[in-house]
Structures are given as C-alpha cells and as structure tokens.
Amino acid sequence: MSGATEQTAGGNSIRGSISSRWIPDKGDAGKLYGSVAFWLTDNFSLGLDYRPLADKVGITGTWRAFSEDPGSWKPALIFGTMVDDFRISGREIESRAFFGTLSKALPPIDALNLTLSPYVGAAYIDKSQELRPVGGITLRHQLFSLMVQYSGTDTHLSLSRKITGDLGASFILWGMEMPGIALRWRF
C-alpha cells in the first residue's frame, strides 16, 4: 500500500475496494478469497475478508499514521492487521498478523515512464508468535505494475494490469511457486 492518497481516473479519492483471489494449488483457506474495505477517513480503513471454501470471515484494518510527502524523502508510516497464509516450518498456516511499514514512491524514471515504490517493515505473526521482517517493491508503469514482496515467511510476485481507472487484474505467483489470479475494483 502506498502512503499517498489514491485517486480515481476522475480525480476523486478512493473510498473503498473489493478484491478477489483464486490460487488453485493452495489449501481451502487460501484457494479462494474475497475482501471488501472502506476508507472511513483519509487515513483509516476497515474491511472484511471471506474465505468461502473454509467458511471463515476476518477483519482487516489499516491506519496511515502519516502520508508520504511527494516533494521530499518523507515516507508514509502505515500500521494494520489482517489474516493471511504464511509458510511456517514447511506448513501453510492461516494466521492473523499485525504490521507496520514505511513506504515511499521514488522520483519517476521519466525515460522509462516508471515509478519505483519500496516498502520495509515488520509483521507480528500471531500463530508463530514471531516478529518477522517484511518488505518489497512495486515497479509501476502506465498500465502495468510488478510487485515483489516478502511477507515475513515467503516471497510473492504479482504482475498487474489496469483494465480501467478503477478495475485491475493480476497474475500472482504465491511463494514463487503457486500461480493464481486476482481482480480488484476500487470505488
């Protein structure tokens, strides 16, 4: 998540999003996933995720303590919680995690029409009772973006394409070995 306020194609602030993910090689809790989140203020969102094959509902939350400053090197500071899948001791475990990250969109590389946005932080994974490092980088082009992230236990890759200003589709390589697809609609 970027620390900058997201904008729709018309310039209005994003107030919510609906996303879904399908990764056929994962277990029931991670194979099919859907979520909805609403920004209640410019800096605070709440949401629900649903895993229909496991019939589980979870709460998500994000608080942007401060936004990045596009005119300086000041990053965004973001805290949150969510339930996700982590590989711990060779097993896939569904666990609540609490995280904090610093993120910053770097100055664009105009010749390539490319913006790099790295983030770094830590996540406390409840079931393993460990504080783990997290981090990643997004390379954003006009219609495409590539994100490489380390979740604290695994590295994931996501190649996304904007379909419209508010709708996007992604190819996912979960744990660098399980392919899947995702859709996201922002409103």
pLDDT computed for residue 167 by the predictor: 98
In a domain? residue 78: yes
Lookup result for tokens 């475990």? 93
Range of the domain at 84: 16-186
Query: Alpha-carbon torsion 163, 18, 11, 64, what sign?
Result: negative
pLDDT computed for residue 3 by the predictor: 42
CA dist 140 and 144 (Å) reads: 6
CATH code of 27's domain = 2.40.160.40
- 154 SS3 class: coil
Does the reported pTM lie above 0.85?
yes
In a domain? residue 90: yes
* Mean pLDDT, the chain, whole residue set: 92
On whether the CB atoms of residues 86 and 151 are closer than 8 A, the answer is yes
pLDDT computed for residue 92 by the predictor: 87
In a domain? residue 148: yes
In a domain? residue 113: yes
Reply yes or no on whether the pLDDT at 184 is more than 90: yes
Reply yes or no on whether the pLDDT at 4 is more than 90: no
pLDDT computed for residue 14 by the predictor: 67
Q: Going by DSSP bridges, is the β-strand pair 16-22/178-186 parallel, antiparallel, or unpaired?
A: antiparallel
In a domain? residue 8: no
What pLDDT, in 10s, does the model give residues 114-171?
A: 999 999 999 999 999 999 999 999 999 999 999 999 999 999 999 999 999 999 999 9
Amino acid identity for residue 58 in this structure: G
The domain total for the chain is 1
What pLDDT, in 10s, does the model give residues 49-98?
A: 999 999 999 999 999 999 999 889 999 999 999 999 998 888 888 999 99
pLDDT computed for residue 32 by the predictor: 97
